[in-house]
Amino acid sequence: MIEVEGLTKYYGLHPAIQDLTFRAETGEIVGFLGPNGAGKTTTMRILTGYMPPTSGTARVAGFDVLEESLEVRKRVGYLPETVPLYPEMTVVEYLEFMGSLRRVPELETRIEEVLERVDMLERAESYIGSLSKGLRQRVGLGQALLHDPEVLILDEPTIGLDPAQIIEVRNLIQDLGADHTVMLSTHILSEAQQVCDRVMIINRGRIVAEDTPANLQAQLAGAEQILVRAAAEARDLVPLLRAVNGVVEVKPTEHEGEVEVRSAPGQDVRPLVARAVVEADLDLLELRSAGLSLEEVFLQLTREDAGTEARAEG
């Protein structure tokens, strides 16, 4: 379990994260989504006991990251953004070293299990320096799993992996998510959408949205948007459609005879809109849903937020 309240971290005078508050339960996979420099790595470093926050509290697996750092570190598996490996060690030597620091019982058996899970058994005796980027990523992931931690914190776990391995790792994460708390960061929306039970979008150190991927998409799209094109003047269409039940807003677009219709969330007004147009004796040329993809939502959200802040600063 992860409980974070009012977490703030300044690097000098520059705030990297500000007043973050969130929870992640056992058996939950939480995705941390945000553009470069949003504060994902900073947050994870605080949660893993690597650095203290400037203010606010964070409890991981029931222990305070500042007061009971050692207890937290025993219970967390962490895959940092730059995978921390010793090139002059073999994969097994590396896992033996980390496993002994973490007092993993029956280490040899466990190492074999973990290597199997990350599909690295054949390369167990290879020097880490000779491994490709993706293989190193897997070794790093193996290190994070080694002590079967209650909480897994993975900073961009699928970066550098090949498509087949990305699927493997996502499956692995979902597997682990059943009885662990998993928090992962990513830039890839589809990944967050596929893997996570809950997604937090972070921008400029603040959480700007948080929900299940599905809800997020609906909520962030604000409402269903549809585009209507008819053989008519847009200014005739606007009052006509505004009268339709469930329609919130009607705006002409730059195209001749086309309007954008926004409806209240969760309401499909397409049949009513179609009927209204036809009943007004106009020819309906096109009617399509223009719901935003999560990708567009994400871009819009992070851009808008950046804009607001820039204005506030200026």
Partner 1 sequence: MRNIWIIAGRELRRYFVSPVAYAVAAMLYLILGVIFFINIYFGLQTGQINPDGRMVMGPMVTILLFVAPALTMRLIADEARMGTLELLLTAPVRDWELVVGKWLGVFGFMVGVIAVTWIYPLILHRMTNPGIDQGVLITAYLGLVLLVGSMLAVGVFVSSLFDNPMAAFFTTLAILLGLWVISGLGSGAGTASEIIRYLGIVDHYYDYLYRGIINLPDVVYFLSLTSLALFLGTQAVESRRWR
Ligand X SMILES: Nc1ncnc2c1ncn2[C@@H]1O[C@H](COP(=O)(O)OP(=O)(O)OP(=O)(O)O)[C@@H](O)[C@H]1O
Edge-to-edge strands of the sheet including 76-79? Answer: 76-79, 151-155, 181-186, 28-33, 198-203, 206-211
Query: Is 49 or 99 the residue whose CB approaches Mg ion more closely?
Result: 49
To which H or E segment does residue 289 belong?
strand 284-289
The only residue of 31, 34, 49, 142 in contact with ligand X, by rule CB under 6 A: 34
CB atoms within 10 A of CB 294: 21
C-alpha to C-alpha distances, 34 to 40, 159, 236, nearest whole angstrom: 7, 15, 42
Cβ(248)–Cβ(222) under 8 Å? no
Q: How far is the CB of 140 from partner 1 (least distance, A)?
A: 9
Does residue 39 bind ligand X (CB under 6 A)? yes
Q: Which of 36, 82, 122, 163 binds partner 1 (CB under 8 A)?
A: 82
Instruction: For residue 307, give the 3-state DSSP assignment.
Output: helix
Give the interface size with partner 1 as a residue count (CB under 8 A). 25
User: CA 31, CA 200: separation in Å to the nearest integer?
Assistant: 6
Q: Please give the Cα distance from 201 to 92 (Å, whole number).
A: 37
Contact pattern for Mg ion over residues 63 through 102, marking x by CB under 5 A: ------------------x---------------------
**Neighbouring C-beta atoms of residue 130, cutoff 10 Å:** 11
Binding residue for partner 1, selected from 14, 36, 70, 314, defined by CB under 8 A: 70
**DSSP secondary structure, 223-266, as one string:** S-EEEEEESS-HHHHHHHHHTSTTEEEEEE-SSTTEEEEEE-TT
**41: contact with Mg ion by CB under 5 A:** yes
Q: Which of residues 182-201 bind ligand X (CB under 6 A)?
A: none
> Which of the choices Mg ion, partner 1, ligand X, none does residue 34 contact, using the CB cut-off of 5 to 8 A by kind?
ligand X
Minimal distance in Å, beta carbon 293 to ligand X?
A: 21
Asked if 81 interacts with ligand X (CB under 6 A), we say yes
206 lines the binding site for partner 1 (CB under 8 A): no
Q: Does 48 bind Mg ion (CB under 5 A)?
A: no
Q: Does 48 bind partner 1 (CB under 8 A)?
A: yes
Using CB under 8 A as the binding rule, the residues of this chain from 97 to 126 that contact partner 1 are 97-98, 100-102
Q: If you search the block for the tokens 């949205």, which residue do you land on?
A: 209
**198/211 Cα distance (integer angstroms):** 5
Choose one: 40-48, 118-126, 256-264, 276-284; the region binding ligand X (CB under 6 A).
40-48
Q: Using CB under 5 A as the criterion, which residues of the chain lie in contact with Mg ion when the complex forms? A: 40-41, 81
- Where along the sequence are the contacts to ligand X (CB under 6 A)? 11, 16, 34, 36-42, 81
